[in-house]
């Protein structure tokens, strides 16, 4: 049923139809839910509590492995070096606070979201914007691979028999998270909210109980610690080793930018709700990270592939693998898997923004049936699974690739914000400038804000350089190679779209040229109902029609000729003798000869009869001539290939 409204513009009647069709239930609707109308979009936004679960799970989950990565680096200097872990974590916490304050300013300056990409694009230019995009997209893929691999490690720590199946479990969890996110932001947020807060509650309970025991002198050393994992030969404690451990621990900062990328997912007032959520996230992350790192030294926790540091902490605090310990491990596993949800919320939105500007395939801008960027979600799942399989779900091998991209985007974002405040300070009071991502106006506190973002840019740039140097041999060089390659690809895609837009533009096009001649060619293998249906259709296009039969058998060619005299309606028939029993090549040569001798503005249409059997698998029994011709003639100007289906009962 449709509703039709009409209006006339400049003598042209324009009709608008309202379609009331409701998609039928299917396996797809069973998996991801019934389709949502565009009008439902405002109702799919989320509040602060759900937003914390959707966008902060990545940052919060890093408490499960950031401390372990610090210890893994310090282990090469012996267990005595573990005493440096807490001072390192304090430095990381200070950096976290600086970055959080900087991004809080970004959220209010750019209420439509976009984060580092939009900030760099509007203030630094297109090239820095594409560097930020490639860095963030790479980090989002790595976030999924690292967090889910770490979650599987937590599960294997509780149930060691699962260790050989880590890769299969990780890939399965990637696609499970993909399906949940395809159901929509609101539904995925509600589904993940309870597990997120369960993790936060269990971690605060574990850390709080551990600190209470430490203060009262009842915190004991870990019983039966796992074998320590040392990543290299024993060395002395050096500044380079400390910086190396610091760079590993900065994984705790990943995910902070996600809220600034996804502001549009929040309920109004969006900026205020997103900013409060960011502050909550930074506070929880700082307390848990410092608490966990402080406690691992007095209990004697060690980095190990057989049991994670979080598992050792929980076991030491509750003195055994009791229900509380298993609950803490379950919460940690769930939050690590859910950390991937932050990427599934951020990657599609960022890729859609870049695609809208013409730097990624346009398909990524399309919303699926549940009002999410479903193609971006699916692409992220595929890329992350490839990484999981390639690195065998090994967190220690994935971590060196991790975080350098996000610190690169941090730096560009803060530089862009500093320049924005500088531009704001040079406007007259009340003056406004409309930029692509926001409205720039004079701000009385521009000097203070510029200093905050400038300090943030310097701090994250230093960390980025430290990370690149200390992790270079461990695999950071891969990211440093991948990011420039992605930028080149993005710029190539943009050039293609710009060239296409120029070619399709109607500016200075003039009047539409009229066709001087329209030729129709009908390839036939025989004379039957299907070829006559194609001939009937060809008559609606032109009176200049030629039937072509490629002959590999003289007797068959004679039979075709006789039948055509009866049924061909007086249309000429050209028989192409093919002594080498080829079909497509002689036909293409004939079409090209006609095309080469064609007049200006002449069009040649190839009308191909095509059987449509009752069952799809019967197509395997027929030559798909239309498809072959379309592929062969796709880049030949002035030639159109169309097939005329003939349904066979």
**Residue 371 belongs to some domain of the structure:** yes
Residue 18 included in any domain: no
The rounded percent of the chain whose pLDDT value lies above 90 is 26
pLDDT at position 629: 75
Q: Are 308 and 68 in contact (CB under 8 A)?
A: yes
Q: What gap in Å lies between CA 333 and CA 153, rounded to an integer?
A: 8
Nearest-10 crossing angle of helices 323-356, 115-123: 30
**Nearest C-alpha neighbor of 17 from the set 38, 27, 1, 2:** 2
- Looking only at the bridges linking them, the beta strands covering 517-523 and 12-19 are unpaired
Q: Distance between CA 624 and CA 418 in Å, rounded?
A: 60
What CATH code is carried by the domain that includes residue 72? 1.20.1740.10
Residue range 270-293: mean pLDDT, rounded = 92
Count the domains in the chain.
Answer: 2
DSSP letter string over 524-536?
Answer: -SS-SHHHHHHHH
Structure tokens at 45: 């936004």
Quote the CA–CA distance of 177 and 379 in Å, as a whole number. 13
> For residue 476, what is the enclosing H or E element?
none
> Rg (Cα) of the chain, in Å, rounded?
32
C-alpha 239/C-alpha 440 separation (Å) is 43
Taking only the tens place, the pLDDT of each residue in 66-108 is: 888 888 888 888 888 888 999 999 999 998 998 888 888 888 8
Domain holding 633: CATH number?
3.40.50.620
Beta bridge partners of 523: 548
Do residues 452 and 543 both lie within one domain? no
Cβ(417)–Cβ(105) below 8 Å: yes
Specify the DSSP class assigned to residue 604. E
pLDDT confidence of residue 622: 66
Output the pLDDT for position 630: 75
Average pLDDT, rounded, for the chain: 84
Task: State percent of the chain over pLDDT 70.
Answer: 90
Domain match, 263 and 200 both: yes
Distance (Å, whole) CA 35 – CA 43:
14
Could you tell me how many residues make up the chain? 649
Same domain for 581 and 490: no
Q: Helix-strand-coil percent breakdown of the chain, rounded to 5?
A: 65, 10, 25
What's this model's pTM, rounded to 2 decimal places?
0.77
Residue 219: the pLDDT is 86
Indicate whether 442 belongs to any domain: yes
43: in domain: no
CB under 8 A, 24+ apart: contacts of 419-428: 419/123, 419/124, 420/109, 420/119, 420/122, 420/123, 421/446, 421/447, 421/449, 421/450, 421/453, 422/446, 422/450, 423/123, 425/450
pLDDT of residue 4: 59
Helices of type H across 426-511: 446-470, 477-504
Q: Say if residue 427 is in the same domain as residue 539.
A: no
In a domain, 14, yes or no: no
SS3 638: coil
Residues 483, 589 within the same domain: no
* d(C-alpha 152, C-alpha 398), whole Å: 14
418 Cβ neighbours under 8 A, 6+ residues apart? 450, 453, 454, 457
Question: What's the pLDDT band for 1 if we cut at 50, 70, 90?
Answer: very low
**What residues have CB less than 8 Å from 158, skipping those under 6 apart?**
311, 321, 326, 329, 330, 333
Closest CA relative to residue 46, chosen from 31, 56, 33: 56
pLDDT tens figures, 538-588 = 999 999 999 999 888 888 889 999 999 999 989 999 999 888 777 888 888
- The confidence score (pLDDT) of residue 511 equals 66
Whether pLDDT at 311 is above 80: yes
Within this chain, do residues 273 and 145 fall inside the same structural domain, yes or no? yes
Residue 86 is predicted with a pLDDT of 93
Same-domain check for residues 488 and 573: no
Q: What's the pLDDT band for 306 if we cut at 50, 70, 90?
A: confident
Between the alpha carbon of residue 304 and those of residues 39, 75, 174, 293, 504, the distances in Å are 51, 10, 24, 16, 60
Q: What pLDDT is stored for residue 420 in this prediction?
A: 92
Residue 191 domain flag:
yes
Q: What is the pLDDT of residue 580?
A: 77
- In-domain check, residue 528: yes
- For residue 554, is it within any domain? yes
pLDDT band of residue 156 (cuts 50, 70, 90) is: confident
- Residue spans of beta strands (DSSP E) within 423-475: 432-434, 439-441
Cα 267 to Cα 47, 279, 368: the distances in Å are 6, 17, 21
**Has residue 439 got a pLDDT over 70?**
yes
Q: Are residue 82 and residue 216 in the same domain, yes or no?
A: yes
274 touches 258 (CB < 8 A):
no
Residues 449 and 592 occupy one common structural domain: no
- Among 499, 527, 545, where does a domain finish? 499
Query: How would residue 310 be classed by pLDDT, with cut points 50, 70 and 90?
Result: confident
Based on the domain organization, do 190 and 260 belong to the same domain? yes
> 499, 533, 563: which is the final residue of a domain?
499
If asked whether residues 167 and 197 sit together in one domain, one would say: yes
**Which candidate, 44, 54, 119, places its Cα nearest to that of 280?**
54
pLDDT digit string, tens, across residues 210-267 = 999 999 988 888 887 788 877 666 678 888 888 888 888 887 787 788 888 778 888 8
Look at strands 12-19 and 2-9 and give their pairing: antiparallel
Tell whether 292 and 389 lie within a shared domain: yes
- The residue among 471, 499, 527 that closes a domain is 499
Expressed as residue numbers, the domain containing 478 is 48-499
Model confidence over 186-208: pLDDT tens digits? 666 677 788 888 888 998 999 99
Q: Which two tokens stand for residue 648?
A: 């066979």
Residues 6+ apart with CB under 8 A from 116: 132, 135, 136, 257, 260, 261, 409, 410, 412, 413, 416
pLDDT-derived band of residue 137, with 50, 70 and 90 as boundaries? very high
């Amino acid at each position: 049923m449709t509703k039709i409204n009409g209006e006339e513009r400049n003598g042209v009647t324009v009709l608008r139809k309202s379609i009331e069709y409701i998609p039928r239930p299917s396996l797809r609707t069973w998996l991801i839910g019934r389709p949502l109308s565009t009008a439902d979009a405002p109702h799919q936004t989320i509040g602060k509590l759900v937003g914390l679960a959707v966008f902060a799970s990545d940052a919060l989950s890093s408490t499960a492995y950031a401390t372990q990565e610090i210890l893994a680096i310090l282990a090469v200097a012996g267990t005595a070096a573990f005493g440096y872990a807490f001072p390192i974590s304090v430095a990381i916490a200070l950096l976290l606070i600086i970055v959080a304050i900087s991004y809080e300013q970004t959220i209010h300056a750019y209420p439509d979201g976009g984060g580092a990409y939009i900030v760099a694009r509007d203030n630094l230019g297109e090239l820095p914007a594409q560097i930020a995009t490639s860095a963030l997209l790479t980090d989002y893929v790595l976030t999924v691979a690292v967090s889910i691999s770490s979650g599987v490690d937590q599960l294997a720590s509780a149930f060691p028999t699962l260790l050989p199946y880590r890769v299969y479990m990780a890939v399965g969890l990637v696609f499970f998270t993909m399906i949940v996110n395809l159901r929509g932001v609101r539904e995925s947020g509600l589904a993940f909210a309870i597990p997120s807060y369960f993790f936060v509650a269990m971690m605060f309970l574990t850390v709080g109980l551990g600190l209470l025991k430490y203060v009262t002198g009842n915190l004991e050393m870990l019983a039966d610690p796992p074998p320590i994992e040392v990543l290299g030969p024993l060395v002395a404690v050096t500044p380079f080793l400390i910086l190396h451990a610091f760079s590993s621990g900065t994984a705790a900062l990943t995910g902070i930018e996600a809220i600034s990328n996804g502001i549009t997912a929040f309920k109004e007032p969006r900026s205020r709700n997103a900013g409060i959520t960011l502050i909550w996230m930074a506070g929880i992350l700082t307390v848990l990270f410092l608490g966990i790192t402080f406690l691992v030294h007095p209990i004697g926790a060690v980095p190990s592939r057989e049991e994670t540091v979080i598992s050792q902490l929980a076991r030491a605090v509750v003195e055994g693998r009791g229900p509380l310990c298993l609950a803490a491990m379950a919460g940690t596993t769930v939050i690590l898997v859910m950390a991937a949800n932050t990427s599934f919320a951020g990657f599609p939105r960022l890729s859609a923004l870049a695609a809208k500007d013409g730097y990624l395939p346009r398909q990524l801008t399309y919303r699926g049936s549940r009002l999410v960027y479903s193609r971006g979600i699916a692409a992220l799942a595929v890329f992350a699974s490839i990484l999981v399989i390639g690195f065998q779900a090994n967190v220690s091998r994935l971590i060196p690739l991790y975080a350098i991209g996000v610190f690169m985007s941090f730096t560009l974002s803060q530089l862009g914000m500093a320049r924005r405040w500088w531009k704001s300070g040079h406007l007259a009071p009340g003056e406004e400038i409309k930029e692509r991502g926001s409205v720039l106006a004079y701000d009385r506190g521009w000097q203070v804000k510029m200093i905050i973002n400038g300090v943030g840019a310097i701090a994250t740039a230093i960390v980025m350089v430290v990370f690149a140097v200390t992790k270079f041999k461990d695999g950071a060089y891969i990211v440093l190679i991948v990011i420039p390659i992605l930028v080149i690809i993005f710029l190539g895609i943009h050039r293609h779209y710009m060239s296409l837009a120029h070619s399709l533009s109607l500016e200075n096009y003039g009047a539409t040229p009229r066709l001087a001649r329209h030729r129709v060619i009908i390839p036939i293998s025989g004379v039957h109902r299907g070829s006559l249906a194609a001939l009937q259709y060809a008559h609606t296009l032109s009176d200049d029609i030629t039937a072509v039969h490629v002959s590999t058998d003289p007797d068959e060619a004679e039979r075709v000729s006789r039948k055509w005299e009866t049924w061909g309606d007086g249309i000429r028939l050209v028989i192409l003798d093919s002594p080498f029993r080829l079909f497509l090549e002689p036909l293409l040569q004939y079409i090209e000869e006609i095309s080469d001798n064609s007049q200006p503005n002449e069009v040649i249409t190839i009308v191909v009869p095509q059987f449509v059997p009752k069952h799809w698998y019967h197509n395997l029994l027929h030559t798909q001539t239309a498809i072959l011709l379309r592929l062969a003639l796709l880049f030949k100007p002035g030639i159109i290939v169309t097939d005329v289906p003939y349904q066979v009962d």
